Structure 1
Amino acid sequence: METPILEYDDAGAGEPVVLIHGLGGSANVWGAQRSTLSREFRVLCPDLPGCGRSKPAQGISIETLVDDIVAFLDHVDIASAHFAGHSLGSVIVQHLAVRYPGRVRRIALVGPIQVPTEAGLKGLRDRAQKARGGELTAIADATVQAGTAAQTQSERPELAAFVRELVMRQDPEAYARTCEALCALAPAAIDTLSCPTLVITGDQDPTAPPALARAIADRISGSRFAMLPACGHWAPIERARLVSTLLLEHYLGDNP
């Protein structure tokens, strides 16, 4: 099956940075980071299959999503790049860095997971079923309620509404297939990674709680860990300025 060419945003000039969104998102998750990083770098934000402007794919797995990103890099003639991935995007970045270390310079894992918990597996299966049953609005409401910080919901309702809109706009079948891809996920061998790595999570992130995210960071030699205050799972949106600053400092670092 031919790998789809992903639609994407492309801003700035310089060393390339590729930002990969998570389940229920699109390239627009990275709007604030694209604006900040493009002052120093060429920033590319692809829409994964069935998300944003990209057409759905017939088969979706973590392996095909990694292949999609590699095909995307080839399409835009980029040999290697810095990467950041949010949630599902962090999984893609981990597997990409393990499979294709020569194509990765520095990586950042935001709200990272390796494999879903048992509760997470049940939730993903339920969401797949609901998506196919036309219940994306219910999924979006639950995503906001459980996935964003209490302060986001009470003090920044426009950010919570943006998260809700992102999820509501998903292609139902592509969303369901991506949920099932996460259910079939095998962990990446991150112990083998040697690229400079930054791990970021929110103090109220139920998907990548601080202890889990720190454990991921501890397995990657020389990585840095940052925990964001008053932040749920949607850190690039909920703590946009802080995430932008952390990524900029990371990519501008002195290490090779």
Structure 2
Amino acid sequence: MTSYERPTAQGLHLVQDGAKTAPPVLLIHGSGAAGSTWEPMVPGLADRFRVLRVDLPGCGRSSAPATYAVPDQADRVAAVLDELGLEGVAVVGHSSGGYVATALAERRPELVGPLALISTGPSMEALLPQPAVVKLLSGAAVGALVWPLRTDAMIRKGIAAMAARPVAISDEVIDDLRRTSFTAFRAIMRENSDYIAELSIPQRLARLGRRPLVIFGDADPRWDPESAHDYDVVPGSRVAYLAGVGHVAMLEAPAEATRLLLDFLG
């Protein structure tokens, strides 16, 4: 497997794996995360695809934007695809990365081919009470004080709180998560909430005529697992559950999640 990375004209950090001549698939991470969180799934995908991973604006190794609005994030991702000369790209979004993927399809439909969403909450009504460590790190007052003092163990604990299975978290992921500022994280979370409050993801996809694959862990502690069936209103959508998996399938069940994607992408 060949891996190469580069900054882009948009200031987004991009890593590519697999043959440049293979069909492209774009992996978009969730709130405050980074492209490195997809690493466990990359080998299984790169055998058949040119795997693209971006760090979204203000996350990981990408530069901070003027605004974190979801459509604006999608525009910067679109500019990266334009720079690479790609269209009809298979797009996979994890958690709020699914919002950016949806906005990309809304704004530049010609760039997006098959669309898959992993653990993407459909609306604010599906949000569950969050684990204590997550509330601590994301709270406006305490979070601002704790965020700069996070130890590796605290970051790992925060990720593990989103999982239902034991997870292995690489040092690269920890380093990338450290790069995201508290200000950026809070702004991203606020803009994500505004985006789905305006119109739910199933409503947006139905309006677009998209037929997504929706993957949920049946033990997701962030979004009500039953809310995956909110996507049933999207004609042609497919919902798949991962048994005993929480919110971070790429870390908890990378082989299972990869198989579902490969079947979907054909």
Which residue pairs with 2:254 in the alignment? 240
Give TM-score, length-normalised by structure 2: 0.80
What CA RMSD, in Å, does the superposition of the two structures yield over aligned residues? 2.9
Q: What is the 5 A alignment of 1:1-256?
A: 4-13=10-19, 14-117=22-125, 127=138, 129=140, 130-135=142-147, 137=150, 140=155, 143-144=158-159, 146-149=161-164, 151-152=165-166, 156=167, 158-159=168-169, 167-185=177-195, 186-187=198-199, 188=201, 189-216=204-231, 218-252=232-266
Aligned equivalents of 2:181, 2:96: Cα separation in 1? 16
Letter in 2 for 1:51: C
Aligned equivalents of 1:177, 1:95: Cα separation in 2? 17
Aligned equivalents of 2:117, 2:193: Cα separation in 1? 19
Over 3 Å counting, the alpha-carbon distance change for 1:118 and 1:249 in structure 2 is closer
User: Which stretch shows the higher mean deviation, 10-19 or 98-107?
Assistant: 98-107
Letter in 2 for 1:221: P
Which residue pairs with 2:3 in the alignment? none
- Alignment coverage as a number of residue pairs: 244
User: Which stretch shows the higher mean deviation, 131-140 or 198-207?
Assistant: 131-140
Letter in 1 for 2:250: P
CA shift for structure 1 position 8? 0.8
Letter in 1 for 2:258: S
Letter in 1 for 2:12: L
Aligned equivalents of 1:47, 1:170: Cα separation in 2? 10
Letter in 1 for 2:147: E
Structure 2: where are the runs of 5+ without partners? 1-8
Aligned equivalents of 1:240, 1:66: Cα separation in 2? 25
Give TM-score, length-normalised by structure 1: 0.83
Contact 1:124 1:180 in 2 (8 A): no
Q: The residue matched to 2:215 in structure 1 has which SS? A: strand
Aligned equivalents of 2:175, 2:246: Cα separation in 1? 17
Aligned equivalents of 1:140, 1:207: Cα separation in 2? 17
Structure 1: where are the runs of 5+ without partners? none
Aligned equivalents of 2:61, 2:55: Cα separation in 1? 6
CA shift for structure 1 position 135? 2.4
CA shift for structure 1 position 183? 2.8
Over 3 Å counting, the alpha-carbon distance change for 1:221 and 1:144 in structure 2 is same
Contact 1:4 1:49 in 2 (8 A): no
Contact 2:216 2:242 in 1 (8 A): yes
Contact 2:36 2:172 in 1 (8 A): no
